[in-house]
Amino acid sequence: MDKKLFIIACVCGLLAVVLGAFAAHGLKDLVSQKYVDIFHTGVEYQFYHTFALLATALAAPHLNKKLLRRAGYMFLTGICLFSGSLYILAFREAIQVPTMIVGPLTPIGGVFFIIGWAMLLVAAWSKNK
């Protein structure tokens, strides 16, 4: 197991639960349903890629550790950019955040997710430690 990636996954999972609970109970009082839905999408993708991080950490003894670590960092970067930008966009109404800079980060984060999955595939395909 890659302990560092496992710890990162645990932190991402913990934050996803906290943010999801906030979205369900507190956010709807601050912004419209449209922005609650945007925030929820961020939480959803954060959870998906938290599980990807966990799988990546647990695969370390069996697959190319260097590729797995890189895949893990791609997932983490994707979470920060994709989900993070959606969290900021969701607060647009409440705190008047300028979103011109934040908006393009969402698809860039999605690209990092894709690269992470591709690296995970290559690590599985190559099967060398």
CA-based end-to-end distance of the chain: 13
Domain ranges of the chain: 3-126
pLDDT > 80? residue 103? no
Are the CB atoms for 65 and 79 separated by under 8 Å?
A: no
pLDDT digits (tens, 9 = 90+) for 77-91: 999 999 999 999 888
* pLDDT for res 128: 58
Q: Residue 31 carries which DSSP code?
A: S
**Residue 93 has what pLDDT?**
67
Distances (CA, A) of 91 to 20, 34, 37, 94, 103: 14, 11, 12, 5, 13
Cβ neighbors of 49 (< 8 A, separation 6 or more) are 12, 75, 78, 79, 113, 116
User: Helix or strand or coil: residue 62?
Assistant: coil
Q: What percent of the chain lies above the pLDDT cut of 90?
A: 60
What is the tens place of the pLDDT at every residue in 4-44? 999 999 999 999 999 999 988 888 888 888 888 999 999 99
Which position has the token pair 């695969």?
A: 59
How far apart CA 73 and CA 67 sit, in angstroms, is 10
pLDDT the model gives residue 7: 92
Average pLDDT over residues 52-80: 93
pTM of the complete model: 0.88
Cα–Cα distance measured from residue 35 to residue 77, given in angstroms and rounded to the nearest whole number: 23
The answer to whether the CB of 13 falls within 8 A of the CB of 77 is no
Checking if the pLDDT of 97 tops 70, the result is no
